[in-house]
Structure 1
Amino acid sequence: EAFIEREHEYRLFVTDAFELTGDKCPRPAVITVANTDENYRATRCPPDEFHRRYGQYGIDRVWRQDLLPCREYLRHCTLSAKSLGDEAYNSWLDQSFLADRETTVRRYLEQHPEVLEAAPPPALAERYCGCQ
């Protein structure tokens, strides 16, 4: 339930998961998938809810192509992927893209190495420490 609330803007899908060996995992996985503002408003966020979450702050769109990742969260995800080993880490760097759908995480981090030095806010320090 907390996951669904935290990832509210995304579409959630259940899918089969596989080990790196190719063996199917015994349980399915839930993945988050990019959404559109139109679909998000139509299926998950009626007008009053959208205003409560975004409109009152002057935000009229959630899904935009010009957004950059939150530095602290990108650091957290990158360190988490690194802790899973080289194959997972390289997959994260080369197969994950920014909102423009062209820039890989690897390329972005090469252009902005300071991201990996971004300390999380104190309230999220334990959660975003990069530890597993």
Structure 2
Amino acid sequence: MAKNKLPAAIIIGAVTGGILSMLDPGTRKKTSESLANTKRSISYYSRNPQELSERASQKAEQWREMAEKIQEDIAFLSEKYEEVKAMAPELKETVQETKEAFTEDQQHSTSASTLPQGGPGGLPEKKTM
């Protein structure tokens, strides 16, 4: 049976890509700064675990509030959708009635304002051979 080589190839590709990206001086500098900041954070929070717990609780609260707000927004939009959906037949009927009223008005106005046949000023057109 053949062994799946994909996971190993992915890891080798990631390591190779990481090594090649370190050839760039800017990348090396940013990576070393990031590692130094991470080291300081780990060191600080290992001495102050209560603060880490408090910050995690604050973040969890922020996420919970955001989730509640999103749920409220979804409920509001759902309610408005249902209102619009309920109004659709009524709106369709109103549009149809308006269309019919304008169509009737146009038919009455065109039949009432029929111009006499002929050229300018109502005179018969001059026929040429």
Q: Which of the five TM-score ranges fits, normalised by the shorter chain?
A: under 0.3
Q: Which has the higher contact order (CA 8 A, sep 6+)?
A: 1
TM-score, length of structure 1 as denominator length: 0.21
TM-score, length of structure 2 as denominator length: 0.22
